[in-house]
Amino acid sequence: MTLRDELRFVHDNRHVRLSADRMETMDRNAAALAASGIVERAAGVGDRAPDFTLGSATGRQVSLSALLTDGPVVLTFYRGAWCPFCNLALRALQAHHEAITARGARLLAVSPQVPDESLSLTQKEELAFDVLSDIGSDVAERYGIAFDLGEELGALYDELGFELRRVNDGHDRTLPLPATYVIDRDGVIRWAFVASDYAVRAEPSDILAALDSLS
């Protein structure tokens, strides 16, 4: 089963845990986000990847430009450990981590969560790659993928117990779109996946193919 199949299965069976009213609220807000044009405005192929330095789950400072001196970087943004679709995507990346590093690349995952939340996720999922904290979504903003939850959807997330105010250190209304970038050693984005649909993520096989195309 591909990651795409797993994500679709979870989405298609969300009625098991969500009421019809809540699904309608999510779908309506998702449609509004898609219509906003944010995907078209996001950083894309041929753009220079904005540099950044962020703290990792283990307390280290990680710089994109420093990593690029050793090879390409696969940079993926996710919403948080509270998101089942994010967890599936990270699990799939972990399963392909060895194949990514075999191509000389480094994998980074970025979310607006505080380091303690990222550390818990790293330990739970046994992630071998760096998970970085973009508190306030400043880096996501520079990539053009940060968006603000509306009051209605924010209130629904509160009802569902996602605790975004706590896990995002008070920045409970700003999240990144699902996005993955393959960045070459010159700091240029050579492959990009950006979606407004939270249930859609980059397929690991496509990431590997993008890395192969660099050489």
Residue 131 — φ and ψ, nearest 5°?
-115, 115
**121 Cβ partners below 8 Å, 6+ apart?**
57, 81, 87, 90, 113, 127, 131
CA distance 22 to 152: 10
**Per residue in 182-196, pLDDT tens?**
999 999 999 999 999
What is the arithmetic mean of pLDDT over 28-53? 97
Is the pLDDT at 135 greater than 90? The verdict is yes
What is the arithmetic mean of pLDDT over 127-144? 95
Distance in angstroms between the alpha carbons of the first and the last residue of the chain: 28
Vertex 22: Cα angle to 136 and 118 (nearest 5): 30
Is the pLDDT at 71 greater than 80? The verdict is yes
Is the pLDDT at 58 greater than 80? The verdict is yes
Is the pLDDT at 122 greater than 80? The verdict is no
Supply the pLDDT for residue 215. 72
Q: Where are the alpha helices (DSSP H) in the chain?
A: 3-12, 20-35, 38-41, 64-68, 84-95, 97-102, 115-125, 138-142, 151-159, 164-167, 204-214
Supply the pLDDT for residue 125. 72
φ/ψ bin of 80: left (φ > 0), alpha (ψ from -120 to 50), beta (otherwise) = left
CA distance 147 to 126: 29
Cα→Cα distances 82→76, 102, 117, 118, 163, Å: 17, 30, 10, 11, 9
pLDDT band at 66 (very low <50, low <70, confident <90, very high): very high
CA distance 56 to 184: 22
CA distance 69 to 52: 14
